[in-house]
Chains A and B, each alone.
Chain A
Amino acid sequence: GAVVSQHPSWVICKSGTSVKIECRSLDFQATTMFWYRQFPKQSLMLMATSNEGSKATYEQGVEKDKFLINHASLTLSTLTVTSAHPEDSSFYICSATLGGNDNNEQFFGPGTRLTVL
């Protein structure tokens, strides 16, 4: 099956710093990538949808200037949490689809656990 990787797996940072998370599709070209956030004991919350070469579409309530998404190629999307604060501590998961109406399955990365001190 399609493999998606994320880096780093976990990160601890000081409040006010920025953190970049990479999401890569290893063996396929991902037309669309999704970024999710998951707080403990809660379901996944979609943050944004990104298509290669275009601006990401953010969900309501997600600050686009705080969560910068760059989908520069068909195999790489990055999420940068700018000026991170403790309330940004969460599990961030990306997923990717092959694209097209017949390929609806989302392949998930292993997730990145962010802890902001």
Chain B
Amino acid sequence: GQNIDQPTEMTATEGAIVQINCTYQTSGFNGLFWYQQHAGEAPTFLSYNVLDGLEEKGRFSSFLSRSKGYSYLLLKELQMKDSASYLCAALDSNYQLIWGAGTKLIIKP
């Protein structure tokens, strides 16, 4: 079956760095997305990786290892507004998104 695993909840301190891991098992693979979702709002796009390696975009970076079925989202210089759920989603062979349950990130001052 298809499956996405990511931690349910993480806590970090303002100004620090946090890494949110995601492992996936899908029928075929056409890339991996990370989305941010604040409570009561729709997800917003953060990153898309289809090739191995690290993609950096400002304070956020995303890494992919296709051979390991593994990705992580790295958030630097954490701000209080980064408190949100972070959703990992893999695109399968039918170009359908398989969603993880999301990681709730709590930022403490």
Whether A43 lies near B97 (C-beta < 8 A) is no
Q: How large is the interface on A (under 10, 10 to 19, 20 to 34, 35 or more residues)?
A: 20 to 34
* Residues in A whose Cβ lies below 8 Å from that of B54: none
Whether A49 lies near B96 (C-beta < 8 A) is yes
User: In the complex, which residue of chain A has the Cβ closest to the Cβ of B50?
Assistant: A104
Report the tally of A-B residue pairs with Cβ distances under 8 A.
45
Which of A43, A101, A104 is B101 in contact with, Cβ under 8 Å? A43
Contact residues of B: prevailing secondary structure: loop
A44 with B87, Cβ < 8 A, contacts A49-B96, A106-B97 known: yes
Whether B101 lies near A108 (C-beta < 8 A) is no
Contact residues of A: prevailing secondary structure: loop
> How far is A105 from B41 in the complex, measured between Cα atoms in Å?
18
| Cβ proximity bits A85-117 to B, threshold 8 Å, 1 near / 0 not | 000000101000000010011111111010000
A105 with B42, Cβ < 8 A, contacts A43-B100, A44-B87, A46-B96 known: no
Tell me the minimal C-beta distance from B20 to chain A in angstroms. 14
How many chain B residues touch A (CB < 8 A): the figure is: 20
Which residues of B, 27-63, contact A by the 8 Å Cβ criterion? 30-31, 33, 35, 40-45, 48
Identify the A interface with B (CB < 8 A). 1, 34, 42-46, 49, 91, 93, 101, 104-111, 113
25 cross-chain CB contacts under 8 A: A34-B97, A42-B101, A43-B100, A44-B87, A45-B99, A46-B96, A49-B96, A93-B43, A101-B95, A104-B30, A104-B48, A104-B95, A105-B33, A105-B48, A106-B33, A106-B45, A106-B97, A108-B35, A108-B43, A108-B44, A110-B41, A110-B42, A111-B40, A111-B41, A111-B42
Identify the B interface with A (CB < 8 A). 30-31, 33, 35, 40-45, 48, 87, 91, 95-97, 99-102
